[in-house]
A and B are shown apart, each in its own frame.
Chain A
Amino acid sequence: MVGAGGLALGGCGTLAAGVTGAPVAPGTVTFWDLFGGGDGVRMAQMLQTFEKDHPEIGLQHVTLTWGNPYYTKVSLSTIGDQPPDVGVSHASRLSPFVDGGLLQELTPDALAKHGLTPDKFDQKALQACTLNGKLYAVPLDTHPFVLFYNTDICKKAGLLDASGNLRSMDGPTAFVDALTAAQKQGGAQWGGVCAVNNDTSSNWRIFQSLYAQLGGQTLADSGKKVVLDDAKAIQVLNYLRDLSVTKKLMPTDVDYPGAIALFASGKAGFYLQGEWEISTFQTAKMPFSMTLFPNVFGGDKYAVQADSHTLIIPARGNDPARTERALTFIRSILDQSLTWAQGGHVPAWRPVAESDAYKKLKPQSNYAAAAPAAVIDPPAWYSGSGSNFEIVTGSAIATVRAGQDSPDTAVKAMRSGLQTYADTAPPV
């Protein structure tokens, strides 16, 4: 659909470029992203501002399907020498790109010319963009797994403090108690909801948040070793199974849109997902707020699953003019980090992240503390956001949350699934 649209817009130019191997639109910035929903709308706004501020450059923008399909297309286009000038990549997906030689290194000099110095970025996010001591991407945000709550239900359940914020619910029992209260006193059909079916990433996110709080690791040695800690994984899986199967506080059979619908229609007190769904619930005009995913197992050390959207320049020969254009574009996007932050993401651009305007942005700034506690998927050629790694682990986790398999079986499935990839010689 997108391809057809692009072809229609590009017309003969695209066809000619395809035949001769020339850039599709010389002199303009081509930008590919994977943003749907509210993110897509906000990115479109930001792109409009860029076009208004830089009419001399011009822009061609394509949005592709999130996850593996997007990364496959970016890789293939770069191999085919027709990459976009700027692309979006999750920080967790950078390592295979870099190992495959698909990204242009961003030198400090080139960045400094556009005012993009290291001190202006969130250090954790910037670190995630640095591989083998070189910078390959510019971080745009950190997007943690967070807790959404229905303020009406939580108020009825007595879970809010005097100022209307959610009381702390750290520790394994406090979270269960809160979900129970939302269901019993709050009168919700479900205490909480988090997608189970046909959505391996959500399963991985909720598992990883708890598993990382226990200090668990999954892969080592760039993915060549599986270091899953069976005892910790089983502890987390038992906890998750209790929530859905045993205590029936969360549904065992709901998919991504279904989970959104349950929360948006007031049938669930809590919703667990990345912060990007904020726009959906704002549009639904429902009473809700957001906060940090609870610290269930971490004790005094908080951890939560997260990732970062970063901007990359896929490699295409040595063309200083293209780099200039791309960096101008990247700077313009970073300058609009406040618009981006409205979509829920914690900005990586410190001039915005530390501004009063962002701190006043509620409920978005409630969970800004997640950025320094972010745990990003382990580096491996098969790992990262929406990757095979998440599919293998998330599928097994889903069987436990749906009550189909025991935690023991699921851990074995994760281990053997990951081992197959660990044993395969990396294709990049």
Chain B
Amino acid sequence: MTNPTITGAGTVRAPATGAPAEQRVRHEDRTAWGFLAPFLVLYLLFVIGPTVYAFILSLFNGSLVRPGLGSWAGLGNYAEALSSPDFWSSLWHTIYFTILTTPPLVALAFVLALLADRVAHGRWFFRFAFFVPYVLPSAVMALIWIWIYTPAIGLAESWLGAIGITSPNWLGDPNWAMISIAISTVWWTLGFNFVLYLAGLQDIPRELYEAASIDGAGPWQQIRRITIPMLGRTTTLVAVLQVIASLKIFDQIYIMTSGGPNFSTIPALEYIYDQSFTNMRIGYGSAVSMLLFVVILAVSFVWLGTVRRQERGV
């Protein structure tokens, strides 16, 4: 993918090269670093620093209630995690949640944005309605859905019952709990992707559609041949952000099921939290979070690579 703005900037700067210009560049460099400094300091202090510290911790048998790093563990914590079925199942739950939520959150956001964009009257209402759940704090959203899913007196059971469907035991059945959480999450976070798609839709020049309809293209063809390709970059962005967000799942699950029933929804992050803070095994918890870090990094790279390649193909 070539980026015209960057090449543009390069060509503008080229003729100005010379002794005084070089000085100016160095000066600009310094200004840039000056502006970046506040961010970099915070980033070093609160992201890089703790990450390095967590890595060091992961090599020791540290306990929260004992001072110091604890005894040397080497790679023992990593070995324990990799051979623990609880670790693997929690990792699978995180990935399962990502698989359940990412496709609908991308596809539904696109469809709803398309529809909301086409509504002639009261467009503001639809934009507002789809975005509003996103504003809710996770605790509020979780409480709302706990009540919807409550057996016997919940809204879901009573509405499905009214149309003759026996509703499953949403949060109580190990096979359904993660799906139920995924449904509530889709409702909750759809608005963010929806807004990104709406913005993307505004950027598509109207003339393309006019030209297409003069050439006799129907609405479906226009969507397939114009809208979807023109939104390619938005889709990449939405998909990558969504995968990363889904891999970081914690809040809803912690509030709605605390990882239950029978540990069927415990995600990797809760496993880390439980080990580090509830069990006070800070060394082991750090090792697991390092492993999760590697997984998220790998998934993000692979995903980004695949989507980029596909985009080039289009």
A261 vs B260: C-alpha distance in the bound complex, in angstroms?
22
B277 at interface by CB-CB < 8 Å: yes
Q: A8-16, A152-160, A347-355, A394-402: which one contacts chain B?
A: A394-402
Q: Quick check: B63 and A395 within 8 Å, CB to CB?
A: no
B28 at interface by CB-CB < 8 Å: no
Q: Quick check: A198 and B64 within 8 Å, CB to CB?
A: no
Interface residues of B in 147-165 (CB under 8 A from A): 150-153
Q: Considering only CB atoms, which chain A residue lies closest to B157 in the complex?
A: A253
A402 vs B151: C-alpha distance in the bound complex, in angstroms?
13
Q: Quick check: A101 and B65 within 8 Å, CB to CB?
A: yes
A197 at interface by CB-CB < 8 Å: yes
Whole-angstrom distance between the Cβ of A87 and the nearest chain B Cβ = 15
A299 vs B150: C-alpha distance in the bound complex, in angstroms?
38
A404 at interface by CB-CB < 8 Å: yes
A258 vs B148: C-alpha distance in the bound complex, in angstroms?
12
Q: Quick check: A258 and B281 within 8 Å, CB to CB?
A: no
Q: Quick check: A72 and B169 within 8 Å, CB to CB?
A: no
Interface footprint category on B = 20 to 34
Q: B18-26, B43-51, B93-101, B171-179: which one contacts chain A?
A: B171-179
Chain B residues with CB under 8 A of A425: 61
The answer to whether residues A262 and B152 also contact, given A402-B172, A427-B65 and a CB cut-off of 8 A, is yes
Which of A75, A382, A399, A413 is in CB contact (< 8 Å) with B261?
A: A399
A388 vs B263: C-alpha distance in the bound complex, in angstroms?
11
A76 at interface by CB-CB < 8 Å: yes
Q: Quick check: B262 and A398 within 8 Å, CB to CB?
A: yes
A382 vs B66: C-alpha distance in the bound complex, in angstroms?
17
Greatest chain A CB density within 10 A among B61, B151, B174 is at B151
Whole-angstrom distance between the Cβ of B203 and the nearest chain A Cβ = 39
B213 at interface by CB-CB < 8 Å: no
The answer to whether residues A255 and B65 also contact, given A262-B152, A427-B279, A427-B281 and a CB cut-off of 8 A, is no
Q: Quick check: B150 and A388 within 8 Å, CB to CB?
A: no
Greatest chain B CB density within 10 A among A101, A391, A396, A413 is at A391
Interface residues of A in 359-401 (CB under 8 A from B): 382, 388, 391, 395-396, 398-399
Whole-angstrom distance between the Cβ of A71 and the nearest chain B Cβ = 8
Chain B residues with CB under 8 A of A68: 274, 278
Chain A residues with CB under 8 A of B69: none
Chain A residues with CB under 8 A of B235: none
Whole-angstrom distance between the Cβ of B70 and the nearest chain A Cβ = 9
A196 at interface by CB-CB < 8 Å: yes
Chain B residues with CB under 8 A of A388: 274, 278-279
Whole-angstrom distance between the Cβ of A280 and the nearest chain B Cβ = 15
Q: Quick check: B63 and A257 within 8 Å, CB to CB?
A: no
Q: Quick check: B86 and A197 within 8 Å, CB to CB?
A: no
A413 vs B264: C-alpha distance in the bound complex, in angstroms?
13
A388 vs B260: C-alpha distance in the bound complex, in angstroms?
12
Produce 1/0 per residue, B264-292, CB < 8 A to A: 00000000001001111100000000000
Q: Quick check: B280 and A427 within 8 Å, CB to CB?
A: yes
A312 vs B66: C-alpha distance in the bound complex, in angstroms?
20
A258 vs B170: C-alpha distance in the bound complex, in angstroms?
13
A109 vs B274: C-alpha distance in the bound complex, in angstroms?
39
A198 vs B266: C-alpha distance in the bound complex, in angstroms?
12
B258 at interface by CB-CB < 8 Å: yes
The answer to whether residues A197 and B63 also contact, given A72-B278, A251-B152 and a CB cut-off of 8 A, is no
The answer to whether residues A395 and B278 also contact, given A75-B64, A198-B171, A251-B152 and a CB cut-off of 8 A, is no
Q: Quick check: B277 and A257 within 8 Å, CB to CB?
A: no
A255 vs B174: C-alpha distance in the bound complex, in angstroms?
14
The answer to whether residues A79 and B277 also contact, given A200-B260, A398-B262, A399-B261 and a CB cut-off of 8 A, is no
A42 vs B201: C-alpha distance in the bound complex, in angstroms?
57
Which residues of B line the A interface, CB within 8 A?
Answer: 61, 63-66, 84, 86, 139, 146, 150-153, 169, 171-174, 256-258, 260-263, 274, 277-281
* Pairs across A and B, CB under 8 Å, 23 listed: A1-B139, A75-B280, A76-B277, A79-B65, A100-B66, A196-B172, A197-B169, A198-B256, A198-B260, A198-B261, A251-B151, A255-B146, A255-B151, A258-B153, A382-B279, A391-B260, A395-B260, A395-B261, A395-B263, A402-B173, A404-B262, A405-B262, A427-B63
